[in-house]
Each structure stands twice: as structure tokens, then as C-alpha cells.
Structure 1
């Protein structure tokens, strides 16, 4: 049977299963809390796998292997270390506190409503600012998923890139529109297992096919195994010196800071049924992430055995190319479905968080406070369609980089939400003014920093990954403005004391 036909059949069966899950949970979605948070009824396995599957997205099987292929360990290992540490710390210090706080503070079902309730912000500034940043950065983030889907369908089936992007949009919107949060989380569980299994199976197949690890080691250029390769660590256009190499390493490690501010991950913490299960969820999630990052890096490195001279855009297809060359026919469709799983598991989560921001924070919070749950669910569904269409339009550029789009959105969320969430959970005297200042400054720094690098190419500090300056400035603003602004009421401080965080 033709290889493309086998892969197509596998894709269709896989997508049918995802749509079936969406249809199943369509019947069980009765109110907005069900649609955007699953009624806080998720178990440890679903929460942990859903959080990490939605976290990693298509960049785990395309962006990271592509970086490892182009620049070896130096281009991937520092980022992987930062992400592994960030995953562990996020589960360790944020998850349980956020789960308890969001439920006790007027049963907050979105990040925006948590911040508003935490600081008793009647001005709606926090709600509006956080919702706007969610819209801006998730448009960029979701676009990266559709870019990955376009490359997947285009490379495998040889169809036009723009048509492939449209197919990806239709698929993701369909089951997110129907089933909401529960559908997203249960599909994420399946997708996370598939992604993990694929990252273990594919390198094993390639290594066996080429004659063992010895052949791999002899084929890969030794320079690619050097984690301190200056040409890879120094940003493009920057001077080749030790200072810039340190900037490159710090920028890669700084990816770990992003976890504290990712709404699609934080909502998983808020949805777990029993806060006491978070410890077990942390172990599952951290193990999944560490092994997956290692194997994704290996995929990029062993790609040199079969393919040489790939461009930056082509390198992000190395996983697909290896499957095409080495995978048995019966496994090809399953292995490539893992990329589809990675794409869908992130895009659906991002669309859902955006829908919750619009329906709960904009529509009910500002436009129509008396809106009923059924009405809000449909506002959320319409938002899913609208945001997906805009993100799909952004993704139509075939030269877009999956990793490039992800890095910008990741920094935006990490800088705008991360410091505010962290400090609000640990410092009872943080004020509303401090939270507003920290969020706005962090988000704006993340947006503007890349433009400053382009405008002032000779200044070394602008080559630092934007999440680091954004996070630092946001923390400073949260602290300084809270110190000089009007002290929060005794009522708020007493309320925080009662949470026993």
C-alpha cells in the first residue's frame, strides 16, 4: 500500500478519536466552569500529562530537534536544562498554592479573575490588562502550532503549505469548540503518551538501522557535541566573544522562567481535584519532560547520519524526514501522528484559555455582567473560532519559524504573568498597583526588546533573550510600586492569612 495512504488512514483514525472525545464531553459541558476548568475534577495523571503536553507543543518534535541538528548540544542542551528546572519548580512552588488560592478566592476560574479577586480590584484594570496580554501572546503562540501543522502536512503529503495550515485550523477548532476543557485535557493525556512513546521509538529505530551507536558517534561531527560552541551560543550578528557566549547560555537557561506565567499550564494546576495529589503529578510531569527533552535532542543529533546541509527552515522537518527514511510502513503514520498530537495539545489549550479570557473576563466582567452560563459557553466557543482564524492567517507565511514564534510568546507570558503570580502567592503585602505595574512593564519589555535589538545591533545587552529583562523589570516594579503605593486593606491581608498557603 502507498506510504501516503497508510499515513493518511492513521491520521484520519487518530483525528476521529479526538473528535469523538470532544463529542463525548459536549454532552457533559453545562456551565462556564465545566467549559474552561472542567469543574476542578481532574486526576493526577490527566493533570500532569495535560500540563506538559500542552506545554511542549510542536516545537518539541520540530523546533528543538531542528536546533540540535543545526548547532548540536550547544544549541539545545542549555534550553533543555532551563526547561527541566522550570518545570520542577513550577510544580513545586506554584501548583498547590495556586490551586488552593483560586478556589478559596471566590472560586476564580481564570488567571484574570484570580488576580482581580486577590487584590479586590474594582477598577477592572488587572482583568483587562491580563486579558489583553493573553490575546496578544496566544495569537502568536497558536500561530506557531499552525505553522508546525502546515509543515507536517506539506512535507508528508506534498500539499500546498497554506492548504495544510487551513486543515490544521479546522481540526483543532472542531473538538475544542465542542468539548471544552475536559475534552482538551483527555485528548492531551493521549497525546502526551503518544509524544513520549514516539520520542523513544524513533531514535531507537534509526540507531538500529544504521548499525548502532558507534556509527552514530563516528558520523556526527565532534564539534556538535561541544556544549560550549561559541558559534552556536553567540546570537546572530553579535560579536564572537566570551561575554556574548555567556549571554547565549543565560538566555537559553532563562526559558525556565517562562513556566511561572504560562496560563495554559497554570490552569491545569487550578483544575486538579485534590491538591494533595500535586506531589505525584509533579513527579510524573518532571520525568516526562526530562526524558522527552533528552530524546528530542538526540533526534536532532542523529539526523546528521541521514541528512546533511539542511537549512534553518528545513531543519525543523528532521523528525519527519527520519520517519520517512527509517520507519517501517506500519509505524510511519503512528510516529507522525505524534507531531500532530504535539501541535493539537498546545493549540487547543491556548484557544481555550483565550476563550475563557474573552467570555469570563471581557464579556461577563465588563460588557454583560448578568450573562448566564449557557450564553458564556457560546461566547467562548465563538472566541475559539475567531482566534483560530486570526492565528491561522498569521501562520500562512511559509518562512515562519516554529521555535521563533514560540520563543516570543513564551517570553511574553513569562514576563507579564510570571512575577505577578509568584509574588502574589508568596507576599501578602503586594498591592494592586504593584501587580498592575509588574504585569504591564513585563509584557511591554518582552514585546519591545526584540525591536530594540534590531534597532541597536551593536549593543550587547539587547541580545539577551527578552524573558530575562522582562522578568527582572516586572519583579522590580511589583516590589517597588507595592512599597510606595497605598497599603492594601486589612481585609485583604486577613483574607490571605486565612488561605494557609
Structure 2
């Protein structure tokens, strides 16, 4: 083992200690009978921590590993597509988070499936919706979690000079440990540390690229390789029309406002937090991380030819960065991937241990004596399940698998979470919308060559139409307290 391998291992061990320490400190604030402390960090997130965990979760492994690979494969269209995420997340924070936070606080919602059930019904109807929403969350976010585990495994393997499976085991074990200890508080605070490193990594990468090459030469080289890289005739992989890339903006907004592992942050803010401050932090951090796909174009022009586009970022670091800087930036990118992995793990564990427990047992109670133990066992079990799924999954492109999981869940949840803010449906409309969105988006992405955002957005339209139409046809009087 040479000096730089020792350096990388030392960095990893130190940061592992920091992450586990944050998890331990967070666990001291989680009482044995307080599920809200574990599931929602006791509703204690401030403006900067809340913004940091939103951005870290939103950009994550997809931003640092997936988007450079898409830019390498499809060209500059990915730069525009990726850019839309920062303003979309800021809009979601400024115009949606506050309302959702207050509504959830009034009802005592601890998770998004519980929020859906409480809004649309009580008794068996509410439990049915909570259970269905939880099942969809578990299934689809486990799919997404597999892509995150693979991403962190690939990068960690090349960084530490170990096998990919061993790397994935190492990384997910630490994520399981600190998430199990501190719940969402540990996730949010570790995300805050991670996103600061991610922002520094983005700055260092931009400095290296733009100071090492003439822009005219870069442009000429890309045009020589393939004119479509800089002047695409389609918006592939987002759709066949050039305009399809602009669909990323509404998709990214709904991504931030509706997906359970993103929207749960809105419920966890302090009641009096200033959302405009959160929005400013989101805009600054998101703008920095939106630059990362440029790595794909840099590698296409000046890097070695790649058989697997998902290796664009690892090969860039290996080829163009000093080993010490390569090690530090790789650590920050691993942070990025962990930030989403821990969020999804926490969300699927919450859906399993809290939502399914309440949905299947009408006598189950929130904050019961063993609830926290069940929450923590679920984190361990589902984290290990995700790792096993990754080991036996067939080959896939990281970004596509992420879209399949998150996009389909988005289509299922848009009516119950987002449209219900403006127009209140009922149990029948909510259930129909979730099922239609699930099968429409998932079916299109799995069985057709439709654009990556087009399939989920078509699913969103179908789900929204069913939410309103079925609710109107089967409307029953909804008690005023449930209308928020």
C-alpha cells in the first residue's frame, strides 16, 4: 500500500468517526418513546441545516456520478437539465414547504404516508392510504437505494483500491450505524457536513478544468468527436424534442416537493424558521453543484475513451487530479452519494417501522414503548437488503435506475401530497391516483424508450386527473379538520 492509499484510508477513517459521532450525539436527543425525535429530528432543523440536507439529498450520487456520465454519453443537454434542479428546489422551499409544514404540525404527521392518510381520511380509509403509500415508498426507494449503493461502491473501490462489493459493504455499514443511532437528526447534520465538502469539491473541479484547457480547443474537439454533443438535435435522454429538456424544471420542482425522502425535510423544520433564508442557501449550494456535469464533456474531449459512461467521474479524478487532491475530492463525492443513501434508508425504514405498523394494526400507537427499537431494526434490515439487491442486480445505468425509482414514486404521490394542497380529494381518488401513477410511469419507463422525465410526467398527469375525477365522482363530505 503506497502513501496515497494510506492517505485515503486515513481520510475515510477520520470522516467515519465524525459521522458516527454525529449519530451518537443525535441519539442523545431521541427519547425511547419519541418517534417524532427519530423520524423528524424533533422538528428542530434550522435554515442552513435544512437547506443543506435538501441540497445534499437532491444532488447526491446522481449529481456527482450519474450526471457526468449522462453528459459524457449525450452531451451538453445534461448541463441544462441538471441546472434546473437548483431553482426548482428553491421554488419548492419558498412556495410549498411552509404550508406543508404547518399542516403536518397541526395533524401531528411524522411521515409522508401518514400525512397522506391523515389528510384524506380517518379510521380504516386513512390506514389503507397510509399503508399503500408506505408500500410504494418502500418498493420504489429500495430501487433507487440500489443505484446509490452501487455508485458509492464503484467510487470507493477505485479510491481505496479494493473490490466494489467490499467498498459497498464498508460504506453502507457506516450509513446504517449513524442513521440507526440518530434518525433524521443524524441524517440532516451529516448531510450538512457533506454538502460543505461537496461545494468545495465542485469549486476545485471547476478550477482544474477551466485553467487547464483553451475553451476554443475544447469546443473544437467536441465538435470533431460528434457535433451533436454541443448542438443536439434531440433532448435525449429526456425526450425526442429539443424542448423536452425544459420538462426537467417541473419534474425537479415536484421531485423536491413531493418525494417522501425530500418532502420529509419540510416537516422537520423548526416551526418559526424563515423559509426565504432556506431558499437563499438552497440557491447558492445548488448553483455550485449544478456545474458538475461539465466533467462529462471534459472527459469526452480530453480523457481516455470509456466503455462505461458511469466511470466518467472516477476516471477524471484519476487522470487529471493530483493523488492527494483526488483523494480529498473523492471523499467529498462519496459524501454526496451517502447523503441520498442515508435519506432513502431513513425513509424506507420509517415507512416500514412506522407506517406499515400503524396501517396493519389499528390498535398500534405512535410513540409506543418499542417504537424506537422497531425503527432502528428496520434501518439495519433494509440497509442490508439494499446491499444484497445491489450485489445481485443486473447491469444498469445509475441515472436511469434513479429515475425509475424516484420518477415513478413522484407520479404516485403528486395528487395526495401536492394537489391536495389546492384541492382536497377523498380516499377513493387518492388510492386511484397512487395506483395509476405507479403503473403508468413504471410501465412507460420499463417497456418503452420514452424520455426519462417524460414517462414520470405523463404518469403525473394521469395520476392528477384520476385524483380529481375519481374524488368528484365518489365525493363524500370531508370533515373540516382534515381539510387543514
Q: Is the pair's TM-score, using the shorter chain for normalization, greater than 0.5?
A: yes
Deviations 1:293-326 (A, max 9, x none): 1x11222222235314212x2x222222222233
Deviations 1:197-253 (A, max 9, x none): 101111212333x355455445433656866513x63469xxxxxx93358536655
Deviations 1:260-288 (A, max 9, x none): 32111111111111345112101211332
Three-state SS of the structure 2 residue aligned to 1:60 is helix
| Other-structure match for 2:328 | 334
- Structure 2: distance between partners of 1:479 and 1:252: 24
| Other-structure match for 2:404 | 408
- Structure 1: distance between partners of 2:220 and 2:439: 47
Shift of 1:113: 1.5
Structural mapping, 1:85-484, within 5 Å: 85-105=87-107, 107-123=108-124, 124-208=127-211, 210-221=212-223, 223=226, 228-230=231-233, 233-234=235-236, 244-246=240-242, 248-249=244-245, 252=248, 255-256=251-252, 257-293=254-290, 295-311=291-307, 313=308, 315-367=309-361, 369-370=364-365, 372-396=367-391, 397=393, 399-427=395-423, 429-453=424-448, 465-484=454-473
Change (3 A) 1:318 1:419: same
Change (3 A) 1:181 1:276: closer
Contact 1:44–1:277 (8 Å) recurs in 2: yes
Change (3 A) 1:372 1:282: closer
- Structure 1: distance between partners of 2:405 and 2:232: 27
Structural mapping, 1:71-82, within 5 Å: 71-74=74-77, 76-82=78-84
Contact 1:96–1:275 (8 Å) recurs in 2: no
Three-state SS of the structure 2 residue aligned to 1:316 is helix
Contact 1:352–1:384 (8 Å) recurs in 2: yes
Contact 1:351–1:388 (8 Å) recurs in 2: yes
Three-state SS of the structure 2 residue aligned to 1:233 is coil
Contact 1:99–1:275 (8 Å) recurs in 2: no
Three-state SS of the structure 2 residue aligned to 1:300 is helix
Shift of 1:50: 0.4
Deviations 1:408-466 (A, max 9, x none): 11211210112321111112x4222222211121122122223331xxx7xxx688732
Contact 2:66–2:310 (8 Å) recurs in 1: yes
Change (3 A) 1:26 1:184: same
Contact 1:261–1:415 (8 Å) recurs in 2: no
Root-mean-square deviation (CA, aligned residues, Å) is 2.5
Contact 2:46–2:273 (8 Å) recurs in 1: no
> Where does the alignment leave 5 or more consecutive residues of structure 2 unmatched?
none
- Structure 1: distance between partners of 2:262 and 2:132: 19
- Structure 1: distance between partners of 2:170 and 2:436: 37
Q: 148-157 vs 171-180, which deviates more?
A: 148-157
Contact 2:199–2:285 (8 Å) recurs in 1: yes
Three-state SS of the structure 2 residue aligned to 1:439 is helix
Change (3 A) 1:234 1:183: closer
Deviations 1:1-45 (A, max 9, x none): 622221121111111111111111122211211101011111000
Contact 2:303–2:319 (8 Å) recurs in 1: no
| Other-structure match for 1:240 | none
> Where does the alignment leave 5 or more consecutive residues of structure 1 unmatched?
237-242
| Other-structure match for 2:8 | 7
- Structure 1: distance between partners of 2:243 and 2:213: 39
| Other-structure match for 1:68 | 71
- Structure 2: distance between partners of 1:462 and 1:61: 21
How many residues are aligned here? Answer: 475
Shift of 1:155: 2.0
Change (3 A) 1:372 1:45: closer
| Other-structure match for 2:85 | 83
TM-score, normalised by the number of residues in structure 2: 0.91
- Structure 1: distance between partners of 2:209 and 2:80: 25
- Structure 1: distance between partners of 2:36 and 2:64: 32
